[in-house]
Amino acid sequence: MESSDAKAPDEEIVLESLEKICKSQEISGSQRLQDFLTYVVTETLEGRGGQIFGKTIAEDVYKRPPSSGADSSNLVRVDAGRLRRALEAYYNGDGATDRIRFVIDPGQYAVRFETRFQTPPERTGNRRTFLIGALVCLVLLVGGVLGYVLLQISGLQEARNPAPAKGLSSVQREVLLNRSPATLEAVDLATQARSLIFPASNPARLTATRGMFERAIELGPNYSGGHAGLAQIVGLQSFLVPAGDERDVLIGLGFRHAQKALDLSPASPWTHSALGWMEFVRGNIDAARSYSLHAVEIDPDDLDVLNFDSLIGIFSGDFDHVVKSANPANFPGRDLSRHVFTVAYAIAKFHLGEYQAAVEALNQAASLGGPSSSISFAYLIAAHHKSGNEAMAGKLLGDFVASRPNSRVEIVLRRLFAHSDDADTLFDALAEAGWQSSEQ
């Protein structure tokens, strides 16, 4: 019998088990897996399990500081998968009777301790045997009923908190339709709204999308996606208004909904992505990067998470990260239409001084269906100019002025960039091409 009670087992027992596992045939031949397991067990025992991220493992276990420039996130994820498989093999073999089990859930690095309670030795006697048999039958009956109930609850909970990038499975939809049709409608509405966030430079578009998320919350107040999506939209809207009471109200509203999403679904990548974006909006860059990277680690295939991760990277000046993580070539066969990270990749190339590559990447983003906006237009002009193609830059600038006479792109971008020098890099290039600053 096993229990995953929140109360951790005795530390001495945990360390004894850790030593035994490290000497087992499953991981004794890999020092890296031994170090990985020792680190996550120790951090969890010290109460820091919630602070274990891929980057902390890379720094503390693999001794790869951020300044090294190496992207260790994939290595950490691969080793985490190897360790989970090794633990499973161990507990199916030599560790089958261990008093505790170490469990590292997918998408997490903290260790969960499952305690095995030993059954007392059986005593002789017909009465004792009868009682034990009756008790076993009762446990099996109750367990079966509870198992069925938990299965139904689990299906409903998964349906209420699906992986938004993948949508609902047919089973989840059927469960919700029969148990909470309004929640199913909320999930569908929030998922549709999520696909409409970008391009985000149009106030009317943001207002309409915000309304969809607000309606999703009305229909399913306990569905985390509605709250996470509303937080992201409100955070984007906050950059369209100047500093002051109105912006402060928007930021407060967005952060409250991000926190609500965390309460409802603490392991959801969308939740962590929304928290990361709101921390960026609040000016907490380190916290923003931490939450956003954790969201990517939870589900690397969620391209909507990558959208906001790339925005945080661009506007915080982490261009190298965006080039590594947001390259469209990393996602062969995926539908990349509407995904803003395709544009962010091109913008990162521009800021790294690779101007012709930026032009090519912007054209590629357009061909893939990436969102077109005043921002991507402005970067295309600047990239052509810096590449020496002044004729094309001049033509595009004329088109921009004619089609967007009241553009506020400079005002918005200067609010978005955490470092004014990064904004200057773009607008100095545009000024050289003949751009008239809206700041003047």
What DSSP assignment string belongs to 371-414?
PP-HHHHHHHHHHHHHTT-HHHHHHHHHHHHHH-TT--HHHHHH
Instruction: Using pLDDT thresholds of 50, 70 and 90, give the confidence band for residue 29.
Output: confident
Cα–Cα distance measured from residue 121 to residue 191, given in angstroms and rounded to the nearest whole number: 55
Distance of CA 315 to the CA centre of its chain: 18
Query: What pLDDT, on a 0 to 100 scale, did the predictor assign at position 70?
Result: 54
State the pairing for strand pair 2-3/100-103: unpaired
pLDDT attached to residue 139: 44
Write the DSSP symbol of residue 111.
-
Per-residue pLDDT for 132 more than 60?
no
3-class SS of residue 103: strand
CA distance 212 to 201: 18
Least confident of 7-11, 206-210, 414-418: 7-11
pLDDT of 391-408, one tens digit each? 999 999 999 999 988 889
Mean pLDDT of the chain: 84
pTM above 0.85, yes or no: no
Higher pLDDT: 130 or 270? It is 270
pLDDT digits (tens, 9 = 90+) for 271-317: 999 999 999 999 999 999 999 999 999 999 999 999 999 999 999 99
Tokens 């690397």 belong to: 300
Q: Tell me: the pLDDT tens digits for 207-266?
A: 999 999 999 999 999 999 999 999 999 999 999 999 899 999 999 999 999 999 999 999
Q: State yes or no: pLDDT of 333 exceeds 90.
A: yes
Distances (CA, A) of 429 to 394, 400, 434, 436: 12, 15, 9, 11
